[in-house]
Amino acid sequence: MDWGFPENVSTFGADIDAAYGAIFYATALMFVIVQGLLVYCIIRFRRREGRKAVPIHGNTRLEILWTVVPFFGVMFIAYTSASVWLDIKSPDRMPEDAMELSVTAQQFEWSVTYPGADGQLATADDYSTRNELHIPVDRAVRLTLHAQDVIHSFYLPELRVKQDAVPGMEIPVWLQATATGEYTLGCAELCGLGHYRMRGTVNVYSQQEFDTWAAEEAAIASGAPASLPPVAAR
């Protein structure tokens, strides 16, 4: 168990982790100040016989100070967070040349649809995988989330992705992996009895391995015998 987020393997994940770190240190500082003041007061002003408290009703200058400073502090956090957020979630800012995939969630499995040889989704040569997401490394991937029954949430902890899949909506997500390997795919929104086992894997391949895998899958999908050599990574 590490004392932090799971290992990050996505491009924008580093920005998220940095934002987390910045807020962590800012709140840690405030934590020390506030709790320190509290403990100081508790010790310093504890009851003494014969002493009378000083009946202070307030101090306008101080009160203005601790209104204005937190305001600018949190506004700064919001301002820096906004661009990171929009880079990740805004459909306008998603990479244009991304590989297009379609993800459909239903109780209790993920199915991922890949474009066939023509590179187009919703054509005859599409093929699908269950509970497995296969993507090439260092390449932007754009996924469109669908849900068939209830709300699910597409959760890739190592890739710092979380996005609900809502029935009746098509929600775009993009990601770009920075390291090959096998990672976690899960459902983060309560979706019923089997919610806890609605999980799968993300396999990040090198481009070459991915092409081999894709060709093999396409061949299986089209009914032809797989004549290609087995993929080493599997």
Partner 1 sequence: MSTVALPEYVHHYHDPAHADDRSFVRKYIFSTDHKIIGIQFLFMSLTFLLIGGLLAMLIRWQLGWPGRPLPGGAVLGETRMPGGIMLPEFYNSLMTMHGTIMIFFAVMPLLVGVFANYLIPLQVGAPDMAFPRLNMASFWLAVVSGILMFAGFFVEAGHAAAGWTSYAPLSVVPEYSGVYNGQVLWTVSLIILGFSSLAGAVNYITTIINMRAPGMTLLRLPLPTWALFITSILILLAIPVLTGALILLLFDQVLGTGFFIPEMGGEPLLWQHMFWYFGHPEVYILILPSFGFVSEIIANGARKPVFGYTAMVLALAAIAFLGWIVWGHHMFQSGMNPMLGVGFMATTMVIAVPTAIKVFNWIGTLWQGNLHFHSPMLYSLAFVSMFVIGGFSGVFLASTPVDIPLHDTYFVVAHIHYVLFGGSLFGIFAALTYWFPKMFGRTMNERINKIHFALTFVFFNLTFFPMHELGVNGMLRRVYDYTQYALFQDLVDLNRFISLSAFALFASQLIYAANYIWSLGRGARASANPWRANSLEWTVPSPPPHGNFDSMPVVYRGPYEYSSPESEEDYLPQDAPPAEAPRPEPAPTFA
In the region spanning residues 16 to 55, those forming contacts with partner 1, defined by CB under 8 A, are 16, 19-20, 23-24, 26-27, 30-31, 34-35, 37-38, 41-42, 45-48, 51-55
User: Binding to partner 1 (CB under 8 A): which residues in 67-96?
Assistant: 67, 70-71, 73-75, 77-78, 81-82, 84-86, 88-91
Q: Round to whole Å and give the CA distance between 94 and 140.
A: 9
Q: What is the DSSP letter of 3?
A: S
Q: What is the dihedral of CA 130, 106, 177, 12, to 10 degrees?
A: 180
Q: Which residue, 16 or 218, is less far from partner 1 as judged by CB?
A: 16
- For the bound state, the minimum distance from the C-beta of residue 123 to partner 1, rounded and expressed in Å, comes to 25
Our CB check for partner 1 shows the closer of 141 and 218 to be 141
Residue 128 binds partner 1, judged by CB under 8 A? no
Closest separation in Å from C-beta 233 to partner 1: 17
- How far, in Å, CA of 118 to CA of 213, rounded? 16
- Least distance CB 158 / partner 1 (angstroms): 8
In the complex, minimum distance from the CB of residue 211 to partner 1, in angstroms, rounded to a whole number: 27
Residues 138-197, interacting with partner 1 (CB under 8 A)? 145, 149-151, 153, 155, 157-158, 160-169, 171, 184, 186, 188-197
Cβ burial of 110 (10 Å; 0-12, 13-18, 19+) is buried
Size of residue set near partner 1 by CB under 8 A: 88
Cα gap 200→133, rounded to integer Å: 8
CA distances from 232 to 6, 164, 210, 229 (A): 26, 33, 11, 9
Residue 1 touching partner 1 (CB under 8 A): yes
According to the binding rule CB under 8 A, does residue 57 interact with partner 1? yes
With beta carbons less than 8 A apart as the criterion, state whether 104 and 111 touch. yes
Phi/psi region, residue 160 (left: phi>0; alpha: psi -120 to 50; beta: rest), is left
Query: Which residue type is seen at 113?
Result: T
Is 42 or 124 the residue whose CB approaches partner 1 more closely? 42
Residue nearer to partner 1 on the CB measure, 22 or 140: 22
When the beta carbons of 64 and 117 are compared against partner 1, the nearer one is: 64
At closest approach, how far in Å is the CB of 67 from partner 1? 6
How far apart CA 182 and CA 131 sit, in angstroms, is: 13
Distance of alpha carbon 125 from alpha carbon 115, whole angstroms: 7
> With contact defined as beta carbons under 8 Å apart, do 165 and 106 qualify?
no
Beta carbon of residue 164, minimum distance to partner 1 (angstroms, whole number): 5
Exactly one of 9, 11, 15, 99 binds partner 1 (CB under 8 A); which one? 15
